[in-house]
Amino acid sequence: MQLRRWRLTSQTLRTIEEINEKIKKGDAVVLTASEMKELVKAKGTQVAAKEVDVVTTGTFGAMCSSGAIINIGHADPPIKIDKAWINDVEACHPGAAVDLYIGATIMDPKRPFEYGGGHVIEDLIRGREVELRATSYGTDCYPRTQLETRIAKDDLNQFYLIDFRNGYQRYDCATNSRDETIYTYMGKLLPNYGNATFSGAGSLNPLCNDPDYETIGIGTRIFLGGGQGYIIGEGTQHEPTTGFGTLMVRGDCKKMSAEFIRGAAFTKYGTTLYVGIGVPIPILNEGLAKKTAIADDEIFTDVVDYGTPRRDRPKLRKASYEELKSGRIEVNGRTVKVSPLSSLRTAEKIASSLKKWIEESTFYLTSPVERLPRDTTVRPARQTSEIPFVESLTRPVVTCTEDETVEAVARRIIERSVNHIVVVDDSGLLRGIVTSWDITRAVANGVKGLREIITRRVVTTSPSEPVEVAARKLSQHNISALPVLDGKGKVLGIITAEDISKLIGR
Amino acid sequence: MARILLKFSEKQVYEPITSEVVIETKAPINILSANITPRGGEILAEVNAEDVDKVAATFRRRGVAVAVQRKIEVDRDRCIDCGACYSLCPVDAISFERDRTVAFDVEKCVACELCVDTCPTRAIHL
């Protein structure tokens, strides 16, 4: 029965060639992904599959693995560029004499976190002139050693966007367990799970609408940055097996618009490029009509603690894109606001623009020459040396409660021969810290109650923090131990300067 | 009337700072909203315009972070409607319209500046 149903849904209703014929005549029925979902809800998959030829998708997010290749032409006398800067942003020189790659994340050292490669690409697309500076060592055939000039996009032989990882199928939702604000590639995250951020367009995302990559692959023509571009393969870190597919794309920047390509800066993280991508999904069979009807409540992602600076960050829960787009989610028993980082309004606009192009017969579909792989996974980096983490140096902690006397704590310090006593409440949550020095001073001053001498603002660490980071905290605050806490503020142990110096001295 | 946003650290939550400031300045303070937890807190309050400088200075002397209301300005040509700023706003002055355009209610804004450095296109200024 199931097999019969599969045969039915995968039965070809129309080919790409037939769709292109209809586009030529202006007869193709095109819906945006949002409109398709409405139609399927109202009339069912069978009707939608019969009526609709193409569904258009869209996404507009920060895509760091983006950049542009430019060929500036030869100067006289010619130069074999060794190093080059555009508006003071260093360009990479990956090829022969005058080919440059402008990476979105390279920053102007004089304007860090404000202006970078992404902004250079945007400025050029806007038609602005940029300053080019290049140096070389000089050769017999390329004698020149210095070049300084101004260039605009029309001066360039080629100006192509070549992005090696774009359009993530879905992405993590980020939050922060630490007691300090952190600045990440997922934006600004407030302390103690104070907010969350997510990226991706959910049910509008290109790959989510064709999760088996039936119609997407090398050679698929797409909307790219306001112009027409192509998918040139799977993106780096493409991991279809866990629903994290990515795209590698190429497009002519000279035909793009700054509305859909935008330089951007993430404070204390770096610069990047917002890239607008729209992929047309031809409804070749009923199965594709069903897939393009996918809703936000069917796409799930993990809420992840970015407060843990490790490769495998703790996953706190799962959340659907419907919840994420609602603006509030529950994290650790508390409702917090969640920001999208990609523009859902622009994603919708991209899907509508692509729809319009097809309806006006200015955009034709292509069959991929090779579909995107569906079985690859991402491997972690091979490391030839290990980094020590706090976990490995954490020792059991000696604790007390706030109601104890100075005398009782003094006795414990002697009995257990430690210098730090961590003050906890009944459930083991951190309330403060007391050192042997605090106790000595209290005895000298005749203070009896512990409460008066507790240090409340305690610098802490977590098991997954690198020892190097913990050591930096110790020296920054001029202290000799850090309580080790879990994500909820519970005391797990303590790490001391003494133990760290033993490790380093080893 | 002027609005001030007060931010208390974890330690300051245990001290009667607001009452001390009222006693010292003799200025009436009308608390509009307060969110205090053992991990720190925030108070949004109204004070008479002529008292603002005095009250703000007195809180600051006690180590409290004070933001006196000014208005944020949004450069709509730069804004890409991503909404990265939305979750940073403590007073719900940033919201989404039906078509996912990001809307800024300048009247609600308390100029806490939390959103300013989160904008990827630097469209928000004070």
Residue of chain B minimizing CA distance to A336: B87
What is the signed CA dihedral for A377, A381, A387, A389, rounded to 10 degrees? Answer: -20
Per-residue pLDDT at A7: 67
A183-214 residue pLDDT tens: 999 999 999 999 999 999 999 999 999 999 99
Residue of chain A minimizing CA distance to B13: A456
Provide the β-strand partners of residue B29.
B47
Same domain, A89 and A231: no
CB pairs under 8 A between A and B: 89
Please identify, in words, the CATH class of the domain defined by B72-126. Answer: alpha beta
Same domain, A231 and A149: no
**Residue A466 token pair:** 């690198």
Which residue shows structure tokens 């995968």?
A10
Strand order across the A54-56 sheet:
A30-32, A54-56, A280-282
Residue A385 located in a structural domain = no
Per-residue pLDDT at A440: 93
Backbone angles phi, psi at A369, to 5 degrees: -80, -20
Same domain, A357 and A396: no
**pLDDT band for position B109 (cuts 50, 70, 90):** confident
Quick one: three-class SS letters along A141-153?
CCCECEEEEEECH
Nearest to B87 among A60, A338, A457 (CB): A338
**Gap from B50 CA to chain A (nearest CA, Å):** 33
Could you tell me the residue ranges of all domains in chain B?
A: 2-68, 72-126
Mutate to test the interface with A, among B11, B78, B80 (most CBs of A within 10 A): B80
Per-residue pLDDT at A310: 83
User: Which residues of chain A are within 8 Å of residue B114 when distances are taken between CB atoms?
Assistant: 188, 190
Provide the CA A292 distance to its chain's centre, in angstroms: 25
What b/e sequence results for A372-386 when a residue is b if at least 16 CB atoms lie within 10 Å of its CB, and e otherwise?
beeeeeeeeeeeeee
Nearest to B86 among A191, A327, A348 (CB): A327
Does the beta-carbon distance from A264 to B100 stay under 8 Å? no
Q: Is A114 on the interface with B (CB under 8 A)?
A: yes
Per-residue pLDDT at B13: 85
Same domain, A334 and A396: no
The count of residues in chain B is 126
Per-residue pLDDT at A424: 95
Same domain, A55 and A81: no
User: Which residues of chain A are within 8 Å of residue B89 when distances are taken between CB atoms?
Assistant: 337
Domain spanning B2-68: CATH superfamily: ACT domain (3.30.70.260)
**Gap from B89 CA to chain A (nearest CA, Å):** 9
Tell me the C-alpha distance between B7 and B40, whole Å. Answer: 8
A64 annotated active-site: no
Q: Is A109 on the interface with B (CB under 8 A)?
A: no
**Gap from B119 CA to chain A (nearest CA, Å):** 8
Residue A474 located in a structural domain = yes
Does the beta-carbon distance from B83 to A340 stay under 8 Å? yes
Does the beta-carbon distance from A339 to B87 stay under 8 Å? yes
Q: Is A336 on the interface with B (CB under 8 A)?
A: yes
pLDDT less than 70: residues of chain A: 1-8, 506
- CA angle (A319, A322, A326) in 5-degree steps: 100
**Gap from A352 CA to chain B (nearest CA, Å):** 13
Q: Is A337 on the interface with B (CB under 8 A)?
A: yes
Does the beta-carbon distance from A339 to B100 stay under 8 Å? no
Does the beta-carbon distance from A327 to B39 stay under 8 Å? no
Backbone angles phi, psi at A4, to 5 degrees: -65, -40
Return the sign of the alpha-carbon dihedral for residues A228, A229, A230, A234.
Answer: negative
Does the beta-carbon distance from B86 to A343 stay under 8 Å? no
Residues 60-79 of A with CB under 8 A from B: 60-62
Helices (H), A126-238: none
Domain of A421, in residue numbers? 390-505
Tell me the C-alpha distance between A481 and A395, whole Å. Answer: 11
Q: Where among A137, A156, A175 does a domain terminate?
A: A156
Same domain, A170 and A305: yes
Q: Are strands B29-37 and A491-496 parallel, antiparallel or unpaired?
A: unpaired
Contact predicate A257/A125, CB 8 Å = yes
- Number of domains forming the structure of chain A: 3
Contact predicate A415/A468, CB 8 Å = no
**Gap from B49 CA to chain A (nearest CA, Å):** 31
Residue A1 located in a structural domain = no
User: Which residues of chain B are within 8 Å of residue A195 when distances are taken between CB atoms?
Assistant: 87-88
Residue A19 located in a structural domain = yes
Per-residue pLDDT at A115: 98
**Gap from A189 CA to chain B (nearest CA, Å):** 8
Tell me the C-alpha distance between A338 and A235, whole Å. Answer: 27
Residue A7 located in a structural domain = no
B88-107 residue pLDDT tens: 999 899 999 999 999 999 88
* DSSP SS3 for A225: coil
Of A64, A92, A141, A173, which residue is the catalytic one? A141
The count of residues in chain A is 506
Residue A378 located in a structural domain = no
User: Which residues of chain B are within 8 Å of residue A262 when distances are taken between CB atoms?
Assistant: 80, 121
Query: What average pLDDT is seen over chain B?
Result: 90
Does the beta-carbon distance from B120 to A195 stay under 8 Å? no
Does the beta-carbon distance from B88 to A188 stay under 8 Å? yes
Tell me the C-alpha distance between B26 and B21, whole Å. Answer: 8
Provide the CA A215 distance to its chain's centre, in angstroms: 26
Same domain, A336 and A242: yes
Does the beta-carbon distance from A344 to B9 stay under 8 Å? no
Q: Where among A110, A130, A156 does a domain terminate?
A: A156
Q: Is A32 on the interface with B (CB under 8 A)?
A: no
Residue A344 located in a structural domain = yes
Helix A497-505 to helix A467-477 angle (10° resolution) is 130
Nearest to A265 among B80, B102, B122 (CB): B122
Same domain, A394 and A455: yes
Same domain, A440 and A364: no
- In order, the DSSP letters of B3-42 are EEEEEE-TTGGGS-HHHHHHHHH---EEEEEEEEETTEEE
Does the beta-carbon distance from B83 to A60 stay under 8 Å? no
Same domain, A84 and A198: no
Count CA within 13 A, CB hemisphere, residue B2. 20
Amino acid occupying residue A164: F
Same domain, A298 and A343: yes
CA-wise closest residue to B72 among B117, B113, B118: B113
Same domain, A110 and A248: no
Q: Is A343 on the interface with B (CB under 8 A)?
A: yes
Q: Are strands A399-400 and A334-340 parallel, antiparallel or unpaired?
A: unpaired
Per-residue pLDDT at A2: 60
Which residue shows structure tokens 């308390």?
B110
A259-299 residue pLDDT tens: 999 999 999 999 999 999 999 999 999 999 999 999 999 99
Helices (H), A398-453: 406-416, 436-445
Tell me the C-alpha distance between A479 and A133, whole Å. Answer: 48
Contact predicate B86/B120, CB 8 Å = no
Helix (H) / strand (E) containing A124: helix A117-125
Residue A206 located in a structural domain = yes
Task: Please list, in sequence order, all residues whose beta carbon lies within 8 angstroms of the beta carbon of residue A213, skipping any fewer than 6 positions away.
Answer: A207, A240, A245, A371, A372, A374
CB neighbour class for A321 (10 Å; exposed up to 12, middle 13-18, buried from 19)? buried
Provide the β-strand partners of residue A228.
A223
Q: Is A271 on the interface with B (CB under 8 A)?
A: no
Q: Where among A100, A132, A156 does a domain terminate?
A: A156
Backbone angles phi, psi at B82, to 5 degrees: -80, -35
Does the beta-carbon distance from B10 to A187 stay under 8 Å? no
